Structure formats: structure tokens, C-alpha cells
Structure 1
Amino acid sequence: MRPMRELPSALEHWEGLLRRMEGREVALFLDYDGTLTPIVPRPEDARLSDAMRATVAALSRRCPVAIVSGRDLPALKDFVRLEGTCYAGSHGFDIERPGGQAFQQPEGLALLPELDAAERELAEGLASVPGAGLERKRFSVAVHWRHVEEARVPEVERVVAEVLARHPRLRRSGGKKVFEVRPDIDWHKGRAVEWLLRELGLAHEGVLPVFVGDDLTDEDAFEALQGRGLGLVVRGDEARPTAADYALEDVEEVRRLLELLTARAEGRGDDAGALAVHI
């Protein structure tokens, strides 16, 4: 892994990316929060802008596009509202392909009763911590601590640790101001990307898979694509080590990248080059 600050900019090195794509179809995988829409204080307010929706829609008509998020699948679909796109919610535990074909990770399904119990215990343990928020998704329980007083964050961590000690088949993963309790099995965004590539007939040399994401959970996908695809990390305000190959600064740069990919897919090489220079 390399520090984010050392990664080359995907936009400034667009010609290099084009060489990596030469003769291959791009299959694009996109995180949602922090990638297609900025991080906001209230998760329910992270609505996709009309400009971003139109940009993703234009690209999805020309190459395979999947939205891979920690959000619950129904909420993710409601936010994005695009036909012809694959959706992978709950970090890939809950997947829906165009046409309604669905996949739910079997081992995760078996652990839903355990997640129900953990949710009840977390609610009880965090009831006295102001600002702590609990968000149940089908295959995980998110503990939001963005609004918790800094001095009390260790208390949130302690409650999560105590609940997990009683439920050893569950584990904690991290994100931006959130702890997620989910099944402790070898399944994550990287496994979901691999599954989609196989199921969509895209797991061959003629396809270059590209994953764009900003969060710690996206590192699983970057690592899964090493040596076979590209990882692009949205830097935001973090400076952690990353397995990504290139960086984008923010959501607006993500949108510009999608425009470049659309121009390439349409065979508008000159337009894409001009846009890259303008950027």
C-alpha cells in the first residue's frame, strides 16, 4: 500500500489510463457515499445530484456499471434510481442485477437472527450516549458516532466490543465516523466485485474492471483488482495508506472521470482528450 498523497491523479494521467484500457471494455464499479455524493452529517441526506445521475446514466448505456455500497439495497436503489445498473448493497451481501435477478450471500442470511440480537443489545447499550445513532441494514448494523462528543467515543467502542464478545460470529468493520457490525465471513466489496464479474461474463482479459471508492471498506475491492484491474481512490480529507492505483480529489472529479469514460466508450477520443486537458 502507498500513502494517498503519493498516488498520481487519474485526471492528470488520463493518457496513461487510456493506454491501460486500450483494446478492452471497461466494467465500472462505484461506491456511493463520498464517491457519487459528498459525505453529509445525516446519511439520509446524501442524495445524488441530477448532474451526477445523468452522468452515470450516460455511461451505463455504454459499459457495465455497478454501484457497490455499504448502504442497504432498497435505500441504495432509491437514492440512485437508474435502470440497467447493478446494485450491490450491504457491502455486497445483497446484490440485484438488471431485470431483478437477485443474490443474497447464503452465510450472511444464516446469521440474520444473530444480527437481530446484536441490534437489540447495541440499542440498549448506546441509549445513554448522546449523539450515537443506530442504523439497521439487512446484513449489518451501523453505529454512527459522528455526533458523539469526542470524549465519549471510547464508550461507543466499548459497547460495540462487548456486544461482539457475546456474538463471535459477527465482527466490526470501520468507516467514516461509523462502526459496522456484520457477519464474520470472507465476503466484502472485493468478493462482490469478483462475483459480479463472473456472473456478468466479464471475468476475462477483454475487460478492465475499475473500482472507484473513498472509504476503508473500498480497500477490499482495490486489493481484489490488483494485477487485473484499476483502483481509484477519492482522497477527500483522509491520508491513509491505500491499495488504489490512482487518486481523485472529490466527487466533482469523479463526475469528470465518468465523462471521460463516456467519451471514450462513444469513440470520441478527441473530445475526451480535450476534456482531460481542460481539467
Structure 2
Amino acid sequence: MTDQPSPASTEGKPSALVRFDAFAAMLGDRRPAVFLDYDGTLTPIVERPDLAILNDSVRAVIRRLAGLCPVAVVSGRDLEDVARHVGIDDLIYAGSHGFDIRGPGLRTQIGEEYLGDLDAAEAELLRRLHGVEGALVERKRFAIAIHTRRVVPDRKASVGDAVRDVAAAFPNLRVTGGKEIHELRPNVPWDKGKAVLSLLDTLGLAGPETLPLYLGDDETDEDAFRALAARGEGRGVGIRVMDPPAPSAAGWSLKAPAEAGAFLDRLAVWLAEG
């Protein structure tokens, strides 16, 4: 990842839920295009990815919202995995941080030429981490996630060292990270931010009549916050889901997935009322 300017803290940034009237005033007569992360945004962070189950009421809100404006789910999860967890047909899904995109009449895959490197790196990581209790190596089509939430504290650093050692042997891959996770991805200039900008162009949503909103909670979501901020003031909105405050390029905040669900519900009601 290239060096980025230090983002401002979420400290003091307005809550998109508490100050929804101000948020709606900013939106004005523009139609939102809503981009949603999954883990930590729509569902709480849990010890194992398979335990992050979307609440039925939040699913219903997303389905209702998708009938009122464009909605896409942009996740680090494998595309088929996040689509199965969300369980709403005809949404746009961008898995593996945007390397794998599917939607009605839409199919894009970035980095297929790196699948062999990912296969070899996965085998080496499984060998290196076999004896580390709690370490979970999760293969996605276009990435490898190494989860450390269940690793005892004094072994977490050694897991990170092993990931970096393996990455050094595969220059076509790069290391990224997040909350209790290391990842290996194809070493190409592509991330959630570039995926969102690409979707805006592909779907005809890049014009001034649309305001893209991105909700996310993690370091990988900062790529999307920065990409929207770079479009210029008032042309993209980032909402960071996190408590306590942390450095972020997002302009608005929410404290937890429960608040994210309540915000999306409020947005759907506001859009339905015209």
C-alpha cells in the first residue's frame, strides 16, 4: 500500500444517525448509492467468520433500501460467501476487497493470473502455522486471510512474522491487514476504493445527481473513504462504524453495527417519503 496522508480522527465527527436530519439535508435531492461492508458494519466482529450472521431485520432493511436506491455489498469475504450470508438476490456483491464483482448483468474479476501464487502461498502458510493454536487460514478465491482473534496474545506477533515471510517469497502478492487479521492479495493497484469508483462508472452513477455513501469499519474500508473523499467535497460520503473513535478519512460516524442498521432503516424511510 502506498503511503497515505494521516487521516483525521473520528473524534468529533457527526453521527449519521443522531444527526440524521443534517445528513439528509446534505443529501438534498440527490439519490444515494449505498456501499456496505459486511463484518463489523452489518454484523458484529466475532471469533470465526462463519459465526457472523446477519440479523433478519437488517436484511429486511437492506432489501427495502435496494428497492429505493442502488445498493452494493463490498467485503473482504469471498464473493460467494458474502452473497450467501447477506442472502438478497439481485444485489451487487464485490468480494475479496473488490477483486471479484457480480451483479445483474455484471461480472468482473481482477487478478486471475495470480491464483497460482495464492495456491502456493496458502500451502506454505498452512505448513508454517499448523502448530499455532487458534490461527485460522481462510482461502478466498482472490485472497488468503489469516485470522488471529483466537490466538493467544504472545503468539500473535509470530503469526504476523510468518505471514510476512511467506509474502516475501511471493512478490506477486502483498500483505494487508485489519482487526485481528492479516491478508495476502494480488500485488496490483486495486482495492475497495477502486472497486467502488469502477462500479460508479459502470452503473452510470458517477454524475452529480448521485451521492455515493460507503459504510465500513476497518482499515481496508479506508481505501473507499479516501477514494470518495478524493472525488471532491460533497461528491462522496464515508461513514466509519467504530467505537471508540479511531483515525479515519470518513466524514461521518456510527458507533456499532446496531447503529448502522438503524441508520439504513432511517434512510429507507426518508427515501420512501420522498
Of 230, 233, 245, the residue aligned with 2:240 is 233
Secondary structure in 2 matching 1:6: coil
Match of 1:73 in 2: 79
- 1:1-279 equivalences under 5 Å are 1-99=7-105, 101-105=106-110, 108-226=111-229, 227=232, 228-237=235-244, 239-267=245-273
Stretches of structure 2 lacking an aligned partner (at least 5 in a row): 1-6
TM-score scaled to structure 2, two decimals? 0.94
For residues 16 and 2 of structure 1, the distance between their equivalents in structure 2, rounded to whole angstroms, comes to: 21
For residues 155 and 46 of structure 2, the distance between their equivalents in structure 1, rounded to whole angstroms, comes to: 21
Stretches of structure 1 lacking an aligned partner (at least 5 in a row): 269-279
For residues 159 and 38 of structure 2, the distance between their equivalents in structure 1, rounded to whole angstroms, comes to: 25
For residues 97 and 11 of structure 1, the distance between their equivalents in structure 2, rounded to whole angstroms, comes to: 29
Match of 2:3 in 1: none
What whole-Å deviation, never above 9, does each CA across 1:207-246 have from its counterpart, x for those lacking one? 0000001011000000000122100000145x43100011
Give the deviation of 1:174 after TM superposition: 0.6
Give the deviation of 1:17 after TM superposition: 1.2
For residues 209 and 89 of structure 1, the distance between their equivalents in structure 2, rounded to whole angstroms, comes to: 19
Give the deviation of 1:5 after TM superposition: 2.3
How many residues end up aligned between the 2 structures? 264
TM-score scaled to structure 1, two decimals? 0.92
For residues 146 and 133 of structure 1, the distance between their equivalents in structure 2, rounded to whole angstroms, comes to: 9
Flag as ranges the 4+ runs of structure 1 deviating above 3 A.
none
For residues 242 and 12 of structure 1, the distance between their equivalents in structure 2, rounded to whole angstroms, comes to: 19
Give the deviation of 1:4 after TM superposition: 2.1
Q: Does structure 2 conserve the Cα–Cα contact (< 8 Å) formed by 1:134 and 1:141? A: yes
Secondary structure in 2 matching 1:51: helix
For residues 255 and 35 of structure 2, the distance between their equivalents in structure 1, rounded to whole angstroms, comes to: 18
What whole-Å deviation, never above 9, does each CA across 1:143-197 have from its counterpart, x for those lacking one? 1111111111121111111111111121111111010011111100001101110
Higher normalized helix content (fraction of residues): 1
Secondary structure in 1 matching 2:11: helix
